[in-house]
Chains A and B, each alone.
Chain A
Amino acid sequence: MNQLTELKPLTKKDFESDQDVRWCPGCGDYALLAQMQKLLPTLGIPRENFAFISGIGCSSRFPYYMETYGMHSIHGRAPAIASGLKLARPELSVWVVSGDGDSLAIGGNHFIHAMRRNIGLKIILLNNRIYGLTKGQYSPTSEFGKKTKTTPHGSIDRPFSPISVALGAGATFVARTIDSDLQHLQQTLKRAAEHPGTAFVEVLQNCIVFNDGAYDDISGKQTRADARILLEQGKPLRFGKDGSKGIRMRGFEPEVVTVGENGITEADLLVHDEAAANGGLAFFLSQFAAPLPVPMGVFRAVEAPSYDELNAELAADARAKKGDGTLERLFNSGDTWVVN
């Protein structure tokens, strides 16, 4: 059985479970599911070594549809469960699929600690800027002033950027992509899969029922060239229909300029560096919001020792110094005395 599995190359179909997918027709979650099922067979990892862990929310149904090991757990706790699984079994490829409410509201604490620890988890956050499963309340990423069932007069709750939070918590890989750009989604997931530590990917995702059109500007054919900017390693930040626009620094503020006008050349533009030792540039970009173009791609990708590797090293060191522990030694350590 085992040998046969190894001989036969895996396909997308091998990663489709027998469960009917029950997201609303047109939901952005379908795009992630399809791209994930397409990506995993290409990674050279046996199917049985994948585990998908989720919390609660529409996106958290994800594991049921993957023919891998998986757990649909409780609200916000997926990163904590995944951390335990990865520490217990470092050889597994452990993925977390979550949403903006799950990761940033109820699970905010686990989210930031998963980012800083760098245990080698792959964390996908489907951000639709709304609570879908409870039918339409605002989330930590909903716009200021947004009217929802719980904010009939407009939200007075200031949103934050998942990318900024992840960077602030010290994540070593941080990227953003969007459900409607399948190629970019695929590329970004692949980069995340290949990152040696914890990788975080925000997927901008449309909720067709409760927040339809949230990303129309970024995904619309007519508008997207001006509304988003592609982050490419070592390249100047250019966007617009013919790539004529660019981002220039004015002090610590970004400025949209047109290359070729007023003597501006490409050399004046800010150049992206995802591997910069200092995370300042990535954080600066993470704060971009309309009317600035929304950055898409890898904000930051740096290598740092991962917790699971360090943990294994500590254990190996302890064994080298003290030898393998035995119960005999454990029981008889400390002060003992004999009663005859």
Chain B
Amino acid sequence: MDTRTLVVEDATIRTPRMSQPRPVEEIRSVVIRFVGDSGDGMQLTGNEFSKSIARAGHDFATHPDYPSEIRAPTGTLFGVSGYQIQFSSGQVFTSGDAPDVLVAMNPAALKTNLPDLKHGGIIIANSGAFTDGNLQKAGYQTSPLEDGSLADFRLYAIDIAEFTTQALQHTGLSRKEVGRCKNYYALGLMLCLYGRPLESEEEDIRAKFAKNPDIAEANVIALRAGHAYAESAEMFVSTYQVRAADITPGTYRSLTGNHAAALGFVAASELAKVPLFLGSYPITPATDILHELSGLKHYNVTTFQAEDEIAGICSAIGAAYGGVLGLTTTSGPGMALKTEALGLAVMLELPLVITNVQRGGPSTGLPTKVEQSDLLQAVYGRNGECPIPVIAARSPADCFDCAIEAFRIAVKYMTPVIFLSDGGIGNATEPWRIPDPASLPPLEVNFRTNPDGFQPYARDEHLARAWVRPGTPGMEHRVGGLEKDFLTGNISHDPNNHQRMVEVRAAKVAGVAQDIPPLTVEGPLSGDLLIVGWGSTYGSIVQAREQAELAGKSVAHVHLRHLNPLPDDLGEILSRYKTVLVPELNLGQLSRLLRERYLRDVVVMSKVQGKMFKVSEIRDRILELC
């Protein structure tokens, strides 16, 4: 890549000259990061850009990275919000290790993100925001746009704010309103740089601001101005074209993990022909599931914003007792609050799904950042012998399948199920191939209505008790948190009955393993190194393994969806490799489960920085191990 620094003085490019047709540089994949103040609209810009990329038929993955402050003081280092997208002509599994292009709206954004930029990468800086005040807030003594410190990069300093103002000078909008349009100027620039047309984006803007046509037109003007600037300014020596990816034909849409989960829950409800009830309390980063489902009142969906996390799960338990699909959604600290009610759900043996979109912990921790540190809590974190099946999604789109799988286990085995997602995939997007609803596997629910010989805690071949809807005549019965008699469900303090009940609850959950399909091993079926992953580390591991393979290494990868119980074939698979590497965004929680269950050591690869693994981090570890 060309590493010349190209600092363009604002004055020289006010009236861009038309240039010769530029060379088109073809590249395989590109990583772009948009960064600015929390109020600069970087999430919107990033989202719009990814939509356009999607329309071009690329595979992509995104990663929003925002601070927990809603709008920190402008220009500060801690107020920087970012959005990263990787798109490619091949398959994309992560939002990318290091950006090729950094769009920085102010000095603080440049300062905090520059260390991640690839050597020789492109910086597009909003030079108008590089004022003395902003430079000082970001801790710069001199302007990095002028002092030569960015010589290793391709720098394009563009006064985005000023150009936007000029473009909008005849619209009659206020300064503040004009200021809000500059992210569309930046978007226009980027769309041009990557050869994307404006028409569909303009339609989107007009739809988005339908209630305020003046603002819509202003944004369209800003978008066109940015696009025209990039097209005509000689500063862009080439544009970049990424060929469309070789993707399975079908209709696609872009989904975040939380959105995909919401669709999955509705799908479960429709497939089971049983209404869905969500009891939830707002908490980052899980709240979007509540948002999505709240807008679906024309489905058999009831949402209830409860007074607290405890009421969230308790209302869902009440709904499940009433014979609907009970769901609660939360994140780490909320999960802690729900613990007692989880025990009740285990005792009641009612179907319930608890979704934990994990974030950095402990306590309030890092609310907007990714971590996988609630695994042991999910598997073990309750009083008493309290087994609960646990599954985890590997990608945003996988949240759809996991949501259905969670309810399938819950109703078949009459048990609460914990579904682990995390802040990394909950807010990140990727393309989702829209399935034909008729192709989805059926979800069978049978309510018992025959009172003859009914015993509330009698069990079927899967050790599940019957689900009875209140309102069914002749089957009135009581359930509760006190230990139950093995058959009648009445209170029992009998020592042998308790032993039997503790064991049967454990056996029931262990039995879920019989439903887990055989694991898929990527790479050699035996050999030196096996990587075992779970959850959102999937993308990084897949790419790291591919890169290691290209480097001539023999390395396999198996990725777990079911974490409790573990798949029956996992132990045998582990035994076929000399070394097992477990990368996790915690201090080694799956590693503990594997050691405990299979009595074999594994190599822990741990990261707790509120960030995903970089592909290179895992690849380098692989190369060290084999």
Contacts and interface: CB of A to CB of B under 8 A. Distances in A.
A70 B489 CA distance: 12
Contact of A335 (B51, B437, B469): B51
Interface string B523-543: 000000000000000000000
Given A91-B471, A110-B307, A63 B298 contact: no
B314 A77 contact: yes
Contacts of A110: 307, 310-311, 314
Contacts of A325: 266, 296, 298-299
A328 B476 contact: no
15 contacts: A5-B473, A17-B478, A47-B476, A64-B480, A64-B491, A67-B476, A73-B344, A74-B343, A84-B304, A84-B314, A85-B322, A88-B318, A89-B323, A89-B471, A327-B437
Contacts of B348: 71
Interface stretch (A25-33, A150-158, A199-207, A316-324): A316-324
B141 interface: no
B297 A85 contact: no
B324 A48 contact: no
Given A314-B297, A339-B57, A74 B341 contact: yes
Nearest to B204: A335
Interface in A4-62: 5, 17, 19, 46-49, 51, 53, 56
Contacts of B480: 63-64, 71-73
A262 interface: no
Contacts of A314: 297
Given A17-B478, A77-B341, A319-B298, A335 B250 contact: no
Nearest to B246: A339
Interface string A308-340: 000100110111011111111011101111111
Interface stretch (B105-113, B212-220, B251-259, B553-561): B251-259
B208 to A, nearest CB: 11
B473 A330 contact: no
**Size bin of chain B's contact surface:** 35 or more
Interface in B487-515: 490-491
B304 A71 contact: no
A82 B321 CA distance: 10
B302 A109 contact: no
B158 to A, nearest CB: 28
B33 to A, nearest CB: 22
Residue picked from A311, A317, A335, most chain B C-beta under 10 Å: A335
Contact of B57 (A82, A88, A337): A337
A68 B304 CA distance: 26
A284 B495 CA distance: 53
B281 to A, nearest CB: 11
A64 B478 contact: yes
A218 B472 CA distance: 42
B252 A337 contact: yes
A87 B251 contact: no
Contacts of B340: 74
Contacts of B51: 335
A149 to B, nearest CB: 24
Contact of B472 (A48, A77, A331, A337): A48
A42 B148 CA distance: 89
A69 B477 contact: yes
A2 interface: yes
B248 A87 contact: no
Nearest to A116: B307
A281 interface: no
Given A48-B471, A330-B263, A80 B310 contact: yes
A92 interface: yes
Contacts of A327: 266-267, 270, 437, 440
Contact of A84 (B267, B316, B471): B316
The list of the 7 closest CB pairs from A to B, nearest first, reads A84-B318, A72-B480, A84-B315, A80-B314, A325-B299, A85-B318, A80-B311
Contacts of B55: 335, 337
A133 to B, nearest CB: 12
A330 B279 contact: no
Contact of A72 (B304, B318, B320, B478): B478
Interface string A248-263: 0000000000000000
Nearest to B296: A325
B435 interface: yes
A335 B253 contact: yes
B473 A2 contact: yes
Contact of B473 (A46, A70, A340): A46
Contacts of A315: 297-298, 302
B322 A89 contact: yes
A109 B314 contact: no
A43 to B, nearest CB: 15
Given A84-B277, A334-B253, A77 B310 contact: yes
Interface in B236-284: 247-254, 263, 266-267, 270, 275, 277, 279
A49 B344 CA distance: 23
A81 interface: yes
B172 interface: no
B251 A336 contact: yes
A198 interface: no
Contact of A337 (B251, B304, B316, B482): B251
